[in-house]
Structure formats: C-alpha cells, structure tokens
Structure 1
Amino acid sequence: MSLKPDRFLCYDDKERGDGKMDMQIAAMSVGIHQAQTAQNLDVAVLKMAMNSSADSSTELLDSLTESLDPNLGTRIDIQA
C-alpha cells in the first residue's frame, strides 16, 4: 500500500472548503498504522524463521557428531 500525501493532505482549506481535512488526516493515520502493523508482523515472522533455521542446523550438527565413531580411522590394516 503506497501513501500519496496529496491524496490525504490539504494545505489550504479554501481549496477544499468542505471540511474534509480531518477525515484525510484520519485516513492517513490509519494507513500509517496499518503499514506499521504489517511491518511488525513481517519482522516477527522473519525472526521465527531465523530461530527455526538455527534450531534445525544445530540439531543437524549434533546428529552428525553423535553418529561418528571415535575409533574409526585410528588404525590401518595392511596386507602384503
């Protein structure tokens, strides 16, 4: 949603003459608050995704290190 200042603001009451400036300011305020709410929601979803990604990568690394045999690769059998 893009806000166009000329749609919401009227700097000269003589130009309008019908007293709609208050409604325009209210509409602009509502638009700004909706944009802020949408941005806050986007940030919250992004944080959740980042936390989920960090948790899954930690679990993956833990599972890889647990599956390793500490005795594997310490001896080499050679037959001639």
Structure 2
Amino acid sequence: MKIVSLNINSFGGDGESFGKMKETLSIKDYGGNQTKECYEDALSRWDWKISCSSIDKSILRKIDEVDADIVLFQEYYINSDVAKQFQKK
C-alpha cells in the first residue's frame, strides 16, 4: 500500500506563502497586530489569489502521477473555493 502526503500550499505557486501574506497584511493594514480580523482578511485574499490559477487540475495531475492508494492533504482549507472545486472533480 502506497500512502502519499501532499502539501496543498505547494500548488499555490512561487508567490508569497499564506503565513508571509498574513504577516505583511498585519503590518500594512492592522498596525502590526495579527488579530482575528487580520487572519480572516489574509485568508480571504489567499483564497482569492490561489483561486485565480488551476490548482485543482495540478493536484489531480499529481495524484495521478504518484499512483497512491491513500493521499493525505496538508494545509487544506476545506471551505476555500479551490477546495470546493477540487471536491466536485
């Protein structure tokens, strides 16, 4: 049995990571405070950013390549638009 773990953030491209985006946003718009509002704002922006690409297709292609019996997803924001598109496919 082959088990593969995929980090979903790896499919977001070479841009800024979610953590870095949250940090930058907190400094720029929230006076350096990573409040709940800042986190939700950063999450919304991150979701929009990755939704603009074909991440779901990249993930499906990778799953086909690794030919695993079980695939574990890390850093998978279940309520994101990308996750919902992926679940449909």
Between 1 and 2, higher relative CO (CA 8 Å, sep ≥ 6) is seen in 2
Q: Say which structure is richer in strand.
A: 2
Bin the TM-score by the shorter chain.
under 0.3
- Give the structure-1-normalised TM-score: 0.26
Structure with bigger gyration radius: 1
- Give the structure-2-normalised TM-score: 0.25
